[in-house]
Amino acid sequence: MISVNNSSKLCQPQLLTLYHIPLLLAILLPFPYSNLMIAKTYSAIPYGYEGRIVEVEGDMNKGLPAFNIVGMANKTISEARERVKSALVNSDFSFPDKKVTINLAPADLLKDGSYLDLPIALSVMILSRQLLQEDLKDKLFVGELSLNGTLRPIHGIINIIETARAAGLTEIYLPLDNLPQAALISGVRLIGVKNLRELFLHLKGEKLIINPSPNVVENTKTDETGPILDHIRGQAFAKRALAVAIAGHHNILISGPPGAGKTLLARAAANLLPAPSPEEQIAITKIHSIAGETDGIVATRPFRSPHHTSSAVSIIGGGNKAEPGEISLAHLGVLFLDEIPEFPRSVLEALRQPLEDKKISISRANSKTTYPADFMLIATMNPCPCGYLDDPTHECTCTQNQINAYHKKLSGPLFDRIDMNITVSKVDNSDLRQTPIIDPHKPTEHSVVKNKITEAIARQRARYGRSDFYNSALTSHQVSTLLHLSSAAEQLLSSASEKLNLSARSYFKIIKVAQTIADLNGSDIIDVRHLTEALNFRQR
């Protein structure tokens, strides 16, 4: 019983109840958990074609030793517990002998990959007071840890850098091997790290990291890596069509008998592609890094040639992680489909939307993303299943039903999205035996054509004010406002559209092809000769 003195009342006895004990202890005793804290480290992960900021929060409590990671982490991230623990110990740091919980926020975002190893390790070091929270202020960390504390390169680093920059985090620590690719992005300070010990000394100001300048990759493409136009006998019409298609980024279908050089023409296109602009180089490198195909810089335009047995997911994109397919890996380059009728009908029909929209949207149960797919389609096919329809030297063995079924594999809507359709004939054997004479003092046919293509693309860039926009991408409204036809060309187009019963899409595609021909000829106006040649390139 305790007596309480009250000047206004008589002294009355008061009982010290059980409810008063916690309050009294809180006043008299120090708070038992006052030494605990929350660690926070910023990181980012690729998420489709974009990226997401991830806050790596750490908490440490008394209890049985444990190391838990929560926040929609997949198996790869859950295994980071062992990598982080070994990396810390093998780098001469201590791992706390308490209950450690790591939360990856936002909790409803599915995390995948080994991107968060480094920020998890840093959060543990803050909890164990080997680092201070202030050491990591306004910085972003990303990287995979090996068991000895070395940082391994990761995929999708451009996504991560762009996401960090957009979030206002401009000091980014990443694996040293990712530095050349990350250096493509401006407006941020990048610090390449070799190992955990080196990063610790830098953050404490004891030994600053000084990275060498990233290797500069020449933005060029040599002609010695494959066939060139000089290697192809005859086929002057097909060579001209190929130059027009590449200059305007037009889709082209090449038909002809076996041995006519269809595949060789398509392969030569890879060496006719101009070098990508800096903006295009970033886009190409970004998509290939997401797919895990490179940790360096892609300095040339892609040339993708999937086999006809490839699945729809591998070509279009998708899977559990909604990964990019061949059409996205061919972005700003060429998608080559050899013997296109041999591809499954479902795969070919799936090309219709990306051919029109220049992008592909992939939806899955736990993710939805949109990848770019601005590719130039080069396709080849035989005139019939046996390949010798209308061949004067070989007899065709196909029935009419087989021929019809073969051609119906390319539906009307799909064919309508192909800008140019040409037919090549078999080259005479006497021409094949002739060795082309190449004068070392004169430019080769290939170099002349490539220079014209480069000049035509320069005219398009000046016209549209962009380095990644070509005649083939013009909308019908843009065709009407930006392109100009002579009066004679307009009359010819009106007459041809009625005779050929052209669809609206085909009508505008012919104008766009004619504009590319005018660009190759150095003309700003589409004339009759340009339009006539464009009509000749649509033979079906």
pTM: 0.85
Q: Around Cβ 451, how many Cβ atoms within 10 Å?
A: 12
Name the strand (E) or helix (H) holding 174.
strand 171-175
CATH architecture of 229-438: 3-Layer(aba) Sandwich (3.40)
CATH level 3 topology of 447-536 = Helicase, Ruva Protein; domain 3 (1.10.8)
pLDDT band at 4 (very low <50, low <70, confident <90, very high): very low
Helix (H, G, I), strand (E, B) or coil at 130: coil
Closest-CA residue to 52 (of 178, 136, 184, 160): 160
Angle at 527 between CA 522 and CA 528, to 5 degrees: 135
Question: Edge-to-edge strand order for the sheet containing 303-304?
Answer: 303-304, 334-337, 376-381, 252-255, 420-423
Please identify which residue in the block is written with the tokens 């006497």: 430
Alpha carbon separation from 297 to 43, 177, 180 (Å, rounded): 23, 11, 7
| Maximum mean pLDDT: which of 59-73, 288-302, 505-519 | 505-519
- CA–CA separation, 69 and 12 (whole Å): 56
Query: Can you read off the two tokens belonging to residue 55?
Result: 């806050």
More confident site: 320 or 445 = 445
Question: Tell me, what's the pLDDT at 29?
Answer: 45
pLDDT band at 372 (very low <50, low <70, confident <90, very high): very high
- CA–CA separation, 294 and 244 (whole Å): 31
Options 3.30.230.10, 3.40.630.40, 3.40.50.970, 3.30.1490.20; which CATH number does 38-203 get?
A: 3.30.230.10
For the stretch 200-256, pLDDT in tens is 999 999 999 998 876 544 444 444 477 888 888 888 899 999 999 999 999 999 999
Query: Can you read off the two tokens belonging to residue 444?
Result: 């080769």
- CA–CA separation, 19 and 50 (whole Å): 55
Q: Residue ranges of the domains in the chain? A: 38-203, 229-438, 447-536
More confident site: 209 or 539 = 209
- CA–CA separation, 494 and 9 (whole Å): 109
Q: What is the mean pLDDT of residues 127-152?
A: 96
Query: Can you read off the two tokens belonging to residue 104?
Result: 């990856």
Question: Tell me, what's the pLDDT at 222?
Answer: 42
Question: Tell me, what's the pLDDT at 220?
Answer: 40
Closest-CA residue to 104 (of 93, 94, 112, 96): 112
Question: Tell me, what's the pLDDT at 212?
Answer: 83
Question: Tell me, what's the pLDDT at 526?
Answer: 96
- CA–CA separation, 103 and 111 (whole Å): 11
Mention every residue, 6+ apart, whose C-beta is less than 8 A from residue 89.
95
For the stretch 396-422, pLDDT in tens is 999 999 999 998 889 989 988 999 999
- CA–CA separation, 328 and 212 (whole Å): 33
More confident site: 181 or 321 = 181
- CA–CA separation, 174 and 181 (whole Å): 11
More confident site: 392 or 9 = 392
| pLDDT reading at 307 higher than 70 | yes
Helix (H, G, I), strand (E, B) or coil at 451: helix
Question: Tell me, what's the pLDDT at 23?
Answer: 47
- CA–CA separation, 337 and 346 (whole Å): 14
Closest-CA residue to 44 (of 146, 167, 152, 131): 167
* Helical pair 504-520 and 445-464, crossing angle rounded to 10 deg: 120
Mention every residue, 6+ apart, whose C-beta is less than 8 A from residue 271.
221, 223, 225, 226, 227, 228, 446, 450
Question: Tell me, what's the pLDDT at 319?
Answer: 84
First and final C-alpha spacing in the chain: 107
Helix (H, G, I), strand (E, B) or coil at 154: coil
